[in-house]
Amino acid sequence: MGVQLDWENLGFVYRDLPYRFRATWKDGEWHSEGLVQGNQLVISESSSALHYGQQCFEGLKAYRTKTGDLQLFRPDMNSKRLNASASRLLMPEVPQEMFIEACKDVVRANADYVPPYGTGGTLYLRPLLIGVGDMIGVAPATEYIFTVFAMPVGNYFKGGLKPAKFLASFDYDRAAPFGTGAAKVGGNYAASLYPGKVAKGQNYAEVVYLDPATHTKIEEVGAANFFGITKDGTFITPKSPSILPSITKYSLLYLAEHRLGLKAVEGDVFIDELDQFAEAGACGTAAVITPVGAINVRGTEHVFFSETEVGPTIKRLYDELTGIQFGDIEAPEGWIYKV
């Protein structure tokens, strides 16, 4: 590898790599530009993405295996989720074949920036779909840009697989009950910045968001999905129409049942019934798995397995998931795409 970076201390920050994929949609069809250089997008000042939030995005990773091969983890699921978000915002869907090939092309073109096996680093891919063009009315755009760019990253939460403390929010919601919570759109994240700042100001990693209708059930943990391991060995993760459907979460549901032999369910997780859990975690593409050491609920700290140590079941889930992603453990059929 010709690129020299501190691979084990990358952090989760933007880096301008040489190549990205770009395509434009106009007059009812996609026009691929293929791989391009330059990280600047030139768009109209009246683009609907800027004024009315007509944009959505994805996040996935490329991994370098022990043998040096490069692979993607379930990019077909990211494609489906991007298109679900696009449909919610009346944007054109991106054909799955174009999405997956774009991701592969970007990884190949920037292969020198995929961190070496064993460092814990990955190449993070950010597919982005935005409405552009000259229009000012509140209506779907007539033109769109789809791009995929990448950067090498380390852990999203500082410290990696170490427990973090979170603050339950009764004052702020991540999304409306019948809004865009299940879509990966920028507005959901912009709305989370202030509550996140409040939590960090009190020395918590992030906010635990409750269901916006009743504030009785856990929905998400910052920008990640929540899961818990009950004392009788059941893997439970919240189910709600306003939760972003995490690909990591659904992978863990499968692995918990089929690899660890746990009962695995999606269902209600009430904030006043945390005593049922022996362990808890937050999961997502960026975070992978972050153990939840404690949740502050109205001033009372509820500690799970430990505030300093990782629980045994979460450790097994983490090892199984990352083992698959880095090519050390056989993956369920269709989960790995070789680059």
Q: What residues are annotated to the active site?
A: 184
Instruction: Point out which residues pair with 238 in neighbouring strands.
Output: 267
Is residue 218 within 8 Å of 269, Cβ to Cβ? yes
CB 287 within 8 A of CB 156: yes
How far is CA 72 from each of CA 41, 56, 116, rounded to the nearest angstrom? 26, 21, 15
- Contacts for 310 with CB less than 8 Å, ≥ 6 apart: 161, 162, 163, 291, 318
- Please state the φ and ψ torsions of residue 315, each to the nearest 5 degrees: -60, -40
Q: What is the largest CA-CA distance in the chain?
A: 58
Name the DSSP letter for residue 11. -
Tallying the residues shown for the chain, one arrives at 339
Helix 247-258 to helix 75-88 angle (10° resolution) is 140
Nearest to 204 by CA among 220, 221, 180, 190: 221
> The tokens of 208 are what?
């635990």
Q: What are phi and psi of 50, to 5 degrees?
A: -80, -35
Q: Locate 211 and state its tokens.
A: 């269901």
Residue 291 CA to residue 303 CA, distance in Å, equals 11
Cβ–Cβ under 8 Å, residues 189 and 212: no
Core vs surface per residue 249-278: b (16+ CB within 10 A) or e: bbbbbebbeebbebebebeebebeebeebb
Q: Which tokens sit at 24?
A: 């434009």
Cβ neighbours of residue 136 closer than 8 Å, sequence gap 6 or more: 46, 51
